[in-house]
């Protein structure tokens, strides 16, 4: 048998365990967060291990404050990441770092500690960055033609493969073939922007701008033909990446309707779209690579015209010009006929109230005189249409 003291001890320990299970202990958060830029693209965020952590594995999670960003896990007290100004459109980012428990530890994650990171220099003024690659030739596909519209300061370009390992950080190269024209400044660079992620830096004395190179190609030429009741659209795909799917966005306007855009994935097969032969078509297209291929895209190419909407115009002319003429002739003729024969079509009708009045006032008078007095107010319209002999022959004897 258990003594009351033993029972009491047992109950107390059970209660302690229960409390522990229900109110999971919260882990302490990391402290002393700081950051350091390793190069223009790479930041190193570090912190101190919090005091009073249980022994064993200590792990942290971190992510950008943006809820869409990935949560990363680390067992170290620092991490490195590439942060590019043109991807956020700003020169500042906020990271959240917190301590997490191991599975089965039954310890609640710590609160999230924010750390705001500013670029070493303010964001440089630059607009409309474009990097073209020529996919027609293996050699040329490893060369880029990058250009931009600068703000009020001269910008110098350097670039390297994105990443934050020691080797990539040391791989930074400067632009060696700069050029400029009226509107834009640019540089030809030897870099395989199709096979690699290339990080670019445009730097002036006062500012800097960082971005990932997005290779663009000249828009593939759109050719249009007719097959049956369809329009046949085809493009010549660049020889490199030829066998991969390309997504064409085709925007068409027929007659004077609004423009309609559709996406079409092809490995080179033509695309058919219903053709209304009474319409003139305006078509333009742009392309981008499909999934599982490095992202490459083009802007819209030249607008291509096909067909004619003249037949539709002729029908419209007939409707708009000839029909009203026919209609007005008809109306004129019917007016003329109506006027000629108005007394037949609308004979003069005696006024019933007048008849009634007459009857009430002179009940014993002759019907003939009543008829005569009834007709006296109405000769006016009859006079105006006096062409009719029938009217005369009826009215004249009655009035006499
Ligand atoms: C980042 O900072 C931590 C702490 O200062 C340091 O130990 C680590 O080596 C740094 N990482 C890089 C890639 O410089
Ligand atoms: C590709 O471009 C290089 C350099 O411009 C040139 O020497 C070579 O002949 C071209 N190859 C083809 C197949 O066009
Ligand atoms: C490089 O790009 C610029 C701007 O888009 C353009 O004017 C120039 O012709 C291109 N150079 C070559 C060699 O294609
Ligand atoms: C076509 O693709 C573009 C992305 O390139 C997308 O923005 C657009 O909504 C798509 N259009 C249609 C009709 O699916």
Q: Does 126-216 match 20-118 at the fold level?
A: yes
Question: Is 70 exceeded by the pLDDT of residue 8?
Answer: no
Query: Is 389 a pocket residue for ligand 2 (Cβ < 6 Å)?
Result: no
Q: Look at 156-160, 308-312, 335-339, 373-377 and tell me which has the smallest mean pLDDT.
A: 373-377
The topology under which CATH files domain 20-118 is Immunoglobulin-like (2.60.40)
Please tell me the predicted confidence (pLDDT) of residue 140. Answer: 83
The topology under which CATH files domain 126-216 is Immunoglobulin-like (2.60.40)
Domains of the chain, residue spans: 20-118, 126-216, 222-306
Tell me which of 133, 134, 139, 186 to substitute to probe ligand 3's pocket, judged by most ligand atoms within 8 Å of the beta carbon. 186
Question: Is 90 exceeded by the pLDDT of residue 88?
Answer: no
Band of pLDDT at residue 314, cut at 50, 70 and 90: low
Question: Is 70 exceeded by the pLDDT of residue 133?
Answer: yes
* Higher local confidence (pLDDT), 53 or 268: 268
Tens digits of residue pLDDT in 283-307 = 999 999 988 888 999 999 999 999 8
* Mean pLDDT for the chain overall: 80
Band of pLDDT at residue 371, cut at 50, 70 and 90: very low
The ligand that comes nearest to the alpha carbon of residue 76 is 1
Collect all residues with Cβ–Cβ distance below 8 Å to 99 and sequence separation of at least 6: 27, 28, 29, 30, 50, 53, 58, 59, 60, 109, 110
- CA dist 276 and 307 (Å) reads 9
Tens digits of residue pLDDT in 146-170 = 999 998 888 999 999 999 999 999 9
Query: How many CB atoms neighbour CB 91 within 10 A?
Result: 19
Tell me which of 127, 135, 136, 145 to substitute to probe ligand 3's pocket, judged by most ligand atoms within 8 Å of the beta carbon. 145
CATH architecture of 222-306: Sandwich (2.60)
Question: Is 70 exceeded by the pLDDT of residue 138?
Answer: yes
Tens digits of residue pLDDT in 44-77 = 999 998 887 766 678 999 999 988 999 999 999 9
């Amino acid at each position: 048998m258990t003594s009351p003291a033993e029972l009491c001890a047992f109950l107390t320990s059970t209660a302690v365990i229960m409390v522990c299970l229900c109110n999971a202990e919260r882990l302490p958060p990391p402290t002393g967060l700081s950051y350091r830029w390793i190069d223009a693209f790479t930041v190193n965020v570090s912190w101190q291990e919090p005091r009073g952590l249980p022994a064993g594995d200590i792990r942290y999670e971190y992510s950008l404050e943006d809820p869409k960003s990935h949560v990363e896990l680390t067992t170290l007290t620092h991490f490195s990441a590439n942060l590019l100004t043109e991807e956020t459109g700003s020169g500042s980012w906020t990271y959240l770092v917190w301590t997490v428990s191991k599975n089965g530890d039954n310890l609640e994650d710590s609160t999230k500690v924010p750390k705001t990171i500013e670029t070493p220099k303010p964001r440089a003024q630059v607009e409309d960055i474009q990097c073209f690659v020529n996919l027609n030739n293996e050699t040329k596909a490893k060369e880029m033609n990058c250009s931009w519209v600068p703000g009020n300061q001269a910008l110098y370009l350097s670039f390297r493969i994105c990443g934050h390992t020691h080797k990539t950080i040391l791989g930074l190269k400067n632009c060696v073939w700069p050029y400029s024209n009226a509107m834009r400044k640019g540089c030809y660079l030897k870099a395989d922007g199709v096979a690699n992620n290339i990080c670019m830096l445009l730097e002036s004395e006062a500012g800097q701008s960082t971005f990932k190179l997005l290779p663009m190609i000249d828009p593939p030429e759109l050719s249009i033909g007719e097959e049956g009741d369809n329009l046949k659209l085809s493009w010549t795909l660049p020889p490199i990446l030829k066998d991969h799917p390309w997504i064409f966005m085709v925007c068409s306007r027929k007659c004077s309707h609004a423009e309609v855009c559709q996406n079409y994935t092809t490995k080179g097969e033509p695309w058919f779209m219903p053709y209304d032969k009474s319409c003139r078509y305006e078509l333009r297209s742009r392309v981008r690579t499909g999934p599982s291929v490095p992202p490459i895209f083009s802007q819209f190419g030249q607008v291509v015209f096909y067909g004619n909407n003249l037949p539709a115009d002729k029908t419209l002319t007939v409707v708009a010009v000839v029909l009203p003429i026919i209609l007005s002739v008809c109306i004129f003729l019917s007016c003329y006929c109506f006027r000629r024969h108005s007394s037949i079509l609308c004979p003069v009708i005696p006024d019933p109230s007048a008849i009634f009045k007459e009857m009430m006032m002179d009940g014993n008078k002759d019907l003939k005189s009543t008829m005569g007095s009834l007709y006296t107010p109405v000769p006016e319209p009859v006079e105006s249409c006096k062409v009719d002999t029938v009217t005369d022959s009826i009215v004249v004897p009655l009035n006499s």
